[in-house]
Chain A
Amino acid sequence: MKAILVIGLLALCSFFWVNIPIPFVVPKGFPPPVYNFNKNPVTKAGFDLGRKLFYDGKLSIDGNFPCSSCHQQFAAFATYEHRLSHGFNSQFSYRNAPALFNLAWQREFHWDGGINNLEVQPLAPMLDPHEMAESLPHVIGKLRADKQYSALFSKAFGSPGISSQRILRALTQFTVSLVSADSKYDRVKRGEAAFSQYEKPGYEIFQQKCAGCHKEPLFTDLSYRNTGMEVDSTLKDYGRMRITGRKEDSLKFKVPSLRNVYLTFPYGHDGRFNTLSDVLEHYNTGIVQSATLDSSLRKGIPLSDNDKFYLIQFLGTLTDSFFVGNPLFRDPGQNRR
């Protein structure tokens, strides 16, 4: 009986007093993360606060556009089935919303790499008049007026106060924890599962024809490449050139990860490809030649229908059901049972 009391007391103590640190665990075979955790170590309270903010409409001007409105867990935190996402006042976003996972390994964010640190990434959608259309002072004011938030910020950061830095760091504690590394592919790599007769040849074709840019285990080399997609005349999106101002970067976009690729359609920076077979057909026959076209794509990537079938079977093994169903990443408002 005494033992139970002591343990209970300990649990209570830790629940109310200690903000439990959550160590970041690098999945087997993954490189070391590039995010600098020193200034913003992930804690239970910080993570919980970040998750609450991620799902809170208060971060948008009219309350309707939390981060999660465009980054849906069941779509691996991309926007399910939308070329462009919807923002404030029936406006479209500029590009296809990227899926959010394994962000700890990324130095730059956005299709054009314009964001140089995960912590400042949320400012882009929050302040974009087409997306959440807010201003920082206004968001801070709304959160300060909410008593619940004052307590949560105190708990997460050890002293009272709500600032832009704390909002951004809390959000980062949530987003940096979105690690997807438990797909069938990962289990095969760990020796816990085997590829099917369809997936195995698909993996071989993948290694031969795709892995140069979609490098394992992140399934992206995080470089910027022109993959021969014609400029859309309405968006006029020249990709990375917008950031660097260099002609050489015209039409280059970041290589997206293929993890969870079944869930993140439509594909491409403007979501022009509806299905994976559309994407593969683009590499097979649809490459548009231009000065900055990636040298590996000058002749396209010849793919037979068989190749495509097997490839798509393999890509299915990259779906991480644990990740998209993980209750820790769910809307905290829907988590009580």
Chain B
Amino acid sequence: MRLFAAILRRRRKSGCRAKSPGISGFSELRPEGKAPVPEKTIKYEPETLLVSSGKSFFNSKRSMPPAFRLILLLMLITGISSFQNISFSQQTKIQATAPPNLILHFKATVHGQPLQLHKNYTNPFGETFKPDIFRFYAGKISPAINNHAALKEFRGGAYHLIDFSDSPSTTVRLRVPEGVYDEIHFLLGVDSLEQTSGAQTGALDPARGMFWTWNTGYLSLKMEGTSPDSKEPFHAFSYHIGGYRFPNRAIYNMNIGTDNGQKFRVNKENTTNLTIRIELDDFFDGAMPIHIRNTAACTTPGDTAVRILQNFAEAFTGIEIPGSP
């Protein structure tokens, strides 16, 4: 405040001048002797940034009648309290949600064996690999029935980062309307709206390591590890798959059915558990076979990234309903 006042004061002083800043590098085209260095006047114009009300408020204090002043004070106080009310009510809103009634477990396997990070596996092409990082985004998850579209209320839904180094994150808890369903829909990756709307928080916090800083965008999938077949430094393989701009959009609308088209019921009181399977054999041996010896790294948006994500989408092999044959 003091600073603002100081600037306001200074502005009233006329004839406050400063030297024209560094233009010494351009003397070569100036005519001899004339050197018309433009004299720049420093003009403090608070309108460009300062609070416009600050000036009028402080200037008008002398002519203000006491009653008016009191009203102003009251207004300010009520203003302050309403300000605080807003922030409090926002906090309480978040807590008022019903318990989850649909729980999804993402389960990854290699050749039918449960995946564990930092352990050696062999892909369908006989290449040994050891995954160290494996995570992907699943957003706007919704149950569906008979190929119908996802439930409306989930179209603007939350994103989940499924990270196999953090096992609780591989379980997603949802509150969905009662009903009978046979599919799960979700977005594999992050939609372009969220890709372009600035600093995000929660699952989309750039600190989660799924964000490109030099070419803004979220990865859809990150898989890293080592393989003796990789020709990259340290025999590393790294698939950083993402991109939201056409035609290199590596985001997939997933639509996974239950095994044998079985239906599952979700009701208000009980929770329904489902397991979504990911078989990494199908990731490597997909529409574009991924041989680590040929393709050990893909870290930019592009055609290869789009095709690798398609492979990953195909690796979602189905949904198990526990307790059924």
Contact = CB atoms under 8 A, between A and B. Distances in A.
Contact of B76 (A14, A128, A158): A14
Interface stretch (B24-32, B123-131, B251-259, B261-269): B24-32
Nearest to B300: A245
Interface residues of A, number: 83
Contacts of B87: 158-159
Given A245-B301, A319-B20, A117 B48 contact: no
A182 B48 contact: yes
A173 B80 CA distance: 22
A89 interface: no
Contacts of B77: 13
Interface string A320-336: 01101111100000010
Contact of A118 (B44, B69, B195, B198): B198
Contacts of B26: 262, 275-277, 312, 316
Contacts of B18: 321, 325
Interface stretch (B100-108, B175-183, B200-208): B200-208
B3 interface: yes
Contacts of A317: 38
Contacts of A118: 198
B98 interface: no
Contacts of A145: none
Main secondary structure of the interface of B (DSSP, over half): loop
Contacts of A128: 213-214
B234 interface: no
B325 interface: no
A151 interface: no
B106 to A, nearest CB: 24
B207 A10 contact: no
Interface in B23-78: 23, 25-26, 28-31, 36, 38, 40-45, 47-52, 54, 61, 64, 66, 69-70, 72-73, 76-77
Contact of A262 (B22, B73, B216): B22
Interface residues of B, number: 64
Interface in A3-17: 3, 6-7, 9-11, 13-15, 17
Given A14-B76, A243-B215, A277-B29, A164 B206 contact: yes
A13 to B, nearest CB: 7
A25 B215 CA distance: 30
B1 interface: yes
B256 to A, nearest CB: 30
Nearest to A317: B38
Contacts of A308: 29
Contacts of B22: 74, 80, 262-263
A124 B21 contact: no
B248 interface: yes
Contact of A120 (B20, B40, B70, B206): B206
B28 A321 contact: no
B249 to A, nearest CB: 12
Given A7-B61, A245-B300, A116 B69 contact: no
Given A114-B216, A117-B196, A328-B3, A18 B79 contact: yes
A322 B42 contact: yes
B302 interface: yes
A143 interface: no
Nearest to B197: A117
Given A3-B66, A179-B48, A120 B199 contact: yes
A144 B157 CA distance: 30
A223 interface: no
B213 A10 contact: no
B154 interface: no
A319 B22 CA distance: 10
B38 A196 contact: yes
A25 B48 contact: yes
A236 interface: no
Interface in A77-123: 80, 110, 114-120, 123
A231 interface: no
B207 A136 contact: yes
Contact of B302 (A117, A245, A321): A245
Interface in B163-221: 195-201, 205-207, 211, 213-217
Contacts of B20: 316, 319, 321
Contact of B198 (A17, A22, A117, A275): A117
B28 to A, nearest CB: 6
A136 B52 contact: no
Nearest to A125: B213
Contacts of A165: 199-201, 205
A125 to B, nearest CB: 9
Interface of A: 2-3, 6-7, 9-11, 13-15, 17-18, 20-23, 25, 27, 36, 39-40, 44, 74, 80, 110, 114-120, 123-124, 126-128, 136-137, 140, 158-159, 163-165, 168-169, 172, 177, 179, 181-182, 184, 196, 198-199, 242-245, 262-263, 265, 274-277, 305, 308-309, 312-313, 316-317, 319, 321-322, 324-328, 335
- In order of increasing CB-CB distance, the 7 nearest A-B pairs are A119-B198, A168-B199, A136-B207, A321-B40, A119-B199, A117-B198, A123-B213
Interface of B: 1, 3, 7, 18, 20-23, 25-26, 28-31, 36, 38, 40-45, 47-52, 54, 61, 64, 66, 69-70, 72-73, 76-77, 79-80, 83, 87, 91, 195-201, 205-207, 211, 213-217, 245, 248, 300-302
Given A168-B199, A182-B48, A322-B42, 10 more contacts: A7-B61, A9-B73, A22-B49, A117-B196, A127-B213, A159-B87, A164-B207, A198-B36, A262-B26, A321-B42
9 contacts: A6-B70, A13-B80, A14-B76, A115-B214, A115-B216, A119-B199, A137-B207, A165-B199, A181-B48
